[in-house]
Amino acid sequence: MSGANPDAARFRHIVRQLQADKQDNPYDWNEPYDVREIERAGDIVFVDAYTTVTGADDRSSHYDISLREALHNWEVKHGVNKSLETQRKVPNTVKLFLNFLEVQDVSLQSVSRRDVYDFIEYLAQHYAKNTVSGHISRLKVVWELAKDRCDVTGDNPFHGHKMDGTSETKKYELFTPSELQALNKSLDEASKDRKLIFLLGLYTGARLSEICNIKAGNIMQAGDHYYYHIEKGKTKDATRNVPIPPELVADTLALREGLADDDLLFSVDSKTYSRWFSVLKSSLVDDSRKVFHSLRVGFSTALKRCDVHERYAAEILGHKRGETMSYGYYAKENEVHKLASEAAKAFSYIKFAWLTDKREEGR
């Protein structure tokens, strides 16, 4: 396989334009064009488009859209509306596929089902089934947009494959109280913002990517309660307002001071923090199933143990729910008050049942 012609976009644009002219005026649509003169001028792309539309010489296969070009179109059309995590994952998957094919770029039309099958076989040797499925799904949507744009024809080669993998995705395990206490104490040596990320994960159950993507302007107040607004996240249900525990408000506001509304609250991205936290955690907890996401599992568990109604748990965690509350930047005071009241139950449970050293408490 080879990369697509760099003039491909212009070729397809001219073809669409000439086809429209031909449809509107089928008898003398080509009268304005002197092909020999255009050829002498060296505009081979136009000549190829012209002969393709006339049927004299179909040159379209020489101007197929490339995978990287299709990715760019996806980023412009759909990527801007996706989470930062998705915006990162789709280009990474495209790069992984091209590396597998050992090319810098490839004609999207030339990708066969066998190419995709072989790619899945390769991925299955290294990744869990869900991860393999995610990679193929991302390539599938890039191809589908190209077909919607009439840049490719035929069946989507990324659709309808059986997925295999090394194993199912690992189940995240809860940190034990002693492990949480050790982590919390160890983070006293870290910067205030890194400690705050940990505590927000612990006490609000937000995903790491959601926390690291909080903007200064997302910190809001409704009545006596502060909350942060998650604009978009892993799923469509991730948009929500999350109450900030009173004990974390001062540090959160201090971090916001001096920032513009569009500035990120934290100076570290989720990928960097995840790696840093993994190293820190490994020195204290020897269990690969226990990661930052385990804090979210813990908060969800605390909500359940405190008998918080599933409706409110879903609102706080960003799980699938009914459209019962509004999720603009400016939440209604009674909405935040109720969410804060329910979240406070889990906050207290985690603080006193898990994070408090009972030996210290009895002294």
Which of the two residues, 55 and 156, has the higher pLDDT score?
Answer: 156
What's the pLDDT band for 278 if we cut at 50, 70, 90?
Answer: very high
State mean pLDDT over 324-339: 65
Q: Three-state SS for 40?
A: helix
The answer as to whether 165 is a domain residue is no
Q: Are 237 and 226 in contact (CB under 8 A)?
A: no
The CA–CA distances, whole Å, from 228 to 210, 220, 256, 263, 303 equal 10, 6, 12, 14, 19
The answer to whether the pTM exceeds 0.75 is no
Q: End of a domain among 24, 40, 63?
A: 63
Q: Tell me, yes or no, whether 296 and 195 share the same domain.
A: yes
Q: Tell me, yes or no, whether 187 and 255 share the same domain.
A: yes
Minimum mean pLDDT range among 89-98, 121-130, 192-201, 280-289: 121-130
Q: Tell me, yes or no, whether 239 and 301 share the same domain.
A: yes
Q: Three-state SS for 328?
A: coil
Q: Are 192 and 251 in contact (CB under 8 A)?
A: yes
pLDDT at 4 over 60: no
- Count of structural domains within the chain: 3
Q: End of a domain among 63, 89, 104?
A: 63
CATH code at 346? 1.10.443.10
The answer as to whether 155 is a domain residue is no
Q: Tell me, yes or no, whether 228 and 280 share the same domain.
A: yes
pLDDT at 91 over 70: yes
pLDDT at 67 over 90: yes
Quick one: pLDDT at residue 182? 96
Quick one: pLDDT at residue 54? 87
Beta bridge partners, 225, equal 222
DSSP letter, residue 355: S
Q: Tell me, yes or no, whether 272 and 346 share the same domain.
A: yes
Q: Three-state SS for 242?
A: strand
The answer as to whether 58 is a domain residue is yes
What's the pLDDT band for 3 if we cut at 50, 70, 90?
Answer: very low
When computed from its CA atoms, the radius of gyration of the chain, rounded to whole angstroms, is 27
State mean pLDDT over 329-343: 79
Q: Tell me, yes or no, whether 270 and 144 share the same domain.
A: no
State mean pLDDT over 250-279: 94
Q: Tell me, yes or no, whether 262 and 332 share the same domain.
A: yes
Quick one: pLDDT at residue 308? 94
Which of the two residues, 333 and 201, has the higher pLDDT score?
Answer: 201
Q: Are 212 and 264 in contact (CB under 8 A)?
A: yes
On average, the pLDDT of the chain sits at: 87
Outline where 187-284 has alpha helix (H). Answer: 192-204, 208-212, 246-256, 270-282
Q: Tell me, yes or no, whether 40 and 74 share the same domain.
A: no
CATH code at 93? 1.10.150
The answer as to whether 166 is a domain residue is no
Q: Tell me, yes or no, whether 239 and 349 share the same domain.
A: yes
Rounded to an integer, what distance in angstroms lies between the CA atom of residue 263 and that of residue 165?
40
State mean pLDDT over 263-269: 95
Q: Three-state SS for 312?
A: helix
Rounded to an integer, what distance in angstroms lies between the CA atom of residue 30 and that of residue 41?
18
Q: Tell me, yes or no, whether 241 and 325 share the same domain.
A: yes
H or E element, residue 290 = none
Q: End of a domain among 17, 36, 63?
A: 63
The answer as to whether 306 is a domain residue is yes
The CA–CA distances, whole Å, from 225 to 160, 195, 276, 351 equal 49, 22, 31, 19
The answer as to whether 167 is a domain residue is no
Quick one: pLDDT at residue 2? 41
Rounded to an integer, what distance in angstroms lies between the CA atom of residue 61 and that of residue 67?
14
Give 26-38 pLDDT, tens digit per residue: 888 888 888 888 8
Q: Are 332 and 326 in contact (CB under 8 A)?
A: yes
The answer as to whether 77 is a domain residue is yes
Domain span holding position 113? 67-148
The answer as to whether 250 is a domain residue is yes
Q: Tell me, yes or no, whether 131 and 205 share the same domain.
A: no
